[in-house]
Amino acid sequence: MAFAEAAACLVEIGKGFHARGWVLGTSGNFSAVISHEPLRLAITSTGLDKGCLTPAQFLEMDEAANVIRGDGRPSAEALLHLAIACGVDTGAILHTHSVWSTVLSGSHASQGGIALEGYEMLKGLEGVRTHKHREWLPILENSQDMVELGKRVSNTLRESPGIHGFLLQGHGLYTWGTGLQEAKRHVEILEFLMEVLVRSGAAQST
């Protein structure tokens, strides 16, 4: 995907996610892989309202988190995008800060994650064919040390192959897909299921 196309698509995704309350304030960050060899990401600049992004506010970033196109600077969490892009076969990475992910990442932190199973909506996740699927959503302790956190993300991806996302405690959801539409769908599915858990009272850790 070309840089301009990726930026335009992410602008629209930002509008939709903001309208749903998933990236309020300046929360969240988005990226799309525009080259695998060498690795290049189109990524949001830090400190921006995701509901009113413009294509000019996106950066092109290399595998060392250096900006090679655009004005501004990426979020420190850009290192997590790189860890994901290097750890799984992905074309896009989306990070949201919803009420639901914040609540569940706290209430289930002691369990190390959340098991999602028995829901028809699980079939919206790539590769899932039945509502009987058990989706594990790991919860990682949040940190301001992004190098260390990036290493834990890489370890999680190695230890839990096939997952579609993870939560940072008290922070939010990271998910990905082979392309932007798949990544967007995964956000929608996982945010829906987390909302179901909270609204049904399952947010309380057992």
**Bridge-partner residues for 58, per DSSP?**
44
Distance, in Å, from the CA atom of 76 to the CA atom of 82, rounded to the nearest integer, reads 11
Domain CATH code at residue 90: 3.40.225.10
Structural domain includes residue 206: no
Query: For the chain, how many structural domains are there in total?
Result: 1
Structural domain includes residue 104: yes
Count of residues making up the chain? 206
- In contact, 41 and 119? CB cutoff 8 Å: no
- What SS3 state is found at 30? strand
Distance, in Å, from the CA atom of 16 to the CA atom of 70, rounded to the nearest integer, reads 24
Whether the full predicted model's pTM is greater than 0.75, yes or no, is yes
Q: What distances in angstroms separate CA 116 from CA 123, 156, 169, 183, one per listed residue?
A: 12, 18, 17, 18
| Domain assignment of residue 124, given as a range | 3-199
| pLDDT at res. 103 | 95
Structural domain includes residue 191: yes
Structural domain includes residue 205: no
Amino acid at 182: E
| pLDDT at res. 177 | 98
Distance, in Å, from the CA atom of 186 to the CA atom of 181, rounded to the nearest integer, reads 9
Tokens read off for 96: 């949201």
| pLDDT at res. 136 | 97
Structural domain includes residue 204: no
| pLDDT at res. 203 | 60
- For the chain of 206 residues, list the mean pLDDT of each consecutive stretch of 10: 95 98 96 97 95 96 95 93 96 97 95 96 95 96 96 97 96 97 98 95 62
